[in-house]
Amino acid sequence: MSCWVIIPAAGMGKRMASKHPKQYLPLCGQTVIEHSIHCFLDMDVIQQVVVAVHPDDEFWPKIAQKYPKISTVIGGAERCQSVFNALDFIRVCADEHDWVLTHDAARPCVQRQTIERLMNDLKNHPVGGLLAQPVRDTMKLGDAQGVIQRTVARDNLWHAQTPQMFRVGLLHHALEQALANNLTVTDEAQAMELQGHYGQLVVGEVSNLKITHPADWVLAEFYLKNQACYPV
């Protein structure tokens, strides 16, 4: 099994109300992005980690020099463009049938055991899939003013997480088609769906949150500090 990892990190994280992009905020002794990458670096099946950054990123070069297994590419205005650019870089060395895992730069609490379970569950799947959590709360559909329109049945609804794991060739083609048709897909699974490739949902962990708002940072700190006490 040969795997590659892409970390799209070209976003500026404006909702965090910080001068630093959220992936570079300090968290439990490291930056957020270092926590997000850490689990992949000592896995034998991972050939390389590729990080897609903003062209004006002044923080990443200082971090990248510490990790020889990491390569850097310039990302795009949208996540799908960043992942596509990284895939272009990977395809020079990777086989079309290799697996590629995409993981959010601001999702620092993912654990190695969870990644290994994802790989094991999907290694023989024809498409791939992603980590996700079943929706637990009652779901409401609102309008632009926040007025409830109706209650949405939560049965079979999932919160998508990362990593998301697909074949290099299939994902590259799916993103190429989405970009050619000016479609902004919000994750890799959506690009695959548009090509008729439906991945498998693999139950992840509640702790595998994405830092978006300041309150998420506090919760991520709690999870990281307690992972040793409460492993997956």
Which residue type does 194 have? L
| Residue 176 forms part of a structural domain | yes
- Does residue 232 belong to any structural domain of this protein? no
Q: Helices 32-41 and 112-122, interaxial angle, to 10°?
A: 50
Neighbouring residues of 86: CB distance < 8 A, sequence distance ≥ 6: 6, 8, 50, 51, 52, 73, 75
Q: How far apart are CA 192 and CA 127, in angstroms?
A: 9
Has residue 179 been placed in a domain? yes
**How far apart are alpha carbons 159 and 204 in whole angstroms?**
10
> Rounded to an integer, what distance in angstroms lies between the CA atom of residue 177 and that of residue 184?
11
Domain harbouring 19, CATH code: 3.90.550.10
Q: Judge if the upstream peptide bond of residue 163 is cis by omega within 30 degrees of 0.
A: yes
Cα(223)–Cα(229) distance, integer angstroms? 10
Q: With 80 as the cut, is the pLDDT of residue 18 above it?
A: no
Query: What's the CA gap between 48 and 39, in Å, rounded?
Result: 13
Given a cut of 50, is residue 230 above it in pLDDT? Answer: no
Whole-structure pTM value: 0.92
Tell me, yes or no, whether 87 lies in a domain: yes
Say what the pLDDT of residue 11 is.
79
Q: Would you say residue 231 lies in a domain?
A: no
pLDDT in tens, 40-51: 998 999 999 999
Residue 161: how many CB atoms within 10 A of its CB?
26
Q: Residue 84: enclosing H or E segment and its boundaries? A: helix 79-90
Q: Is 15 contained in some domain?
A: yes
CA gap 138, 105 in Å, rounded? 29
Asked if residue 125 is part of any domain, the answer here is yes
Q: What's the total number of domains in the chain?
A: 1
Residue 107: CB atoms within 10 A of its CB come to 22
Show the domain range for 21: 3-226
Sequence letter at residue 185: V
Q: Residue 123 corresponds to which tokens in the numbers above?
A: 């290694």
pLDDT in tens, 61-107: 999 999 888 999 999 999 999 999 999 999 999 999 999 999 999 99
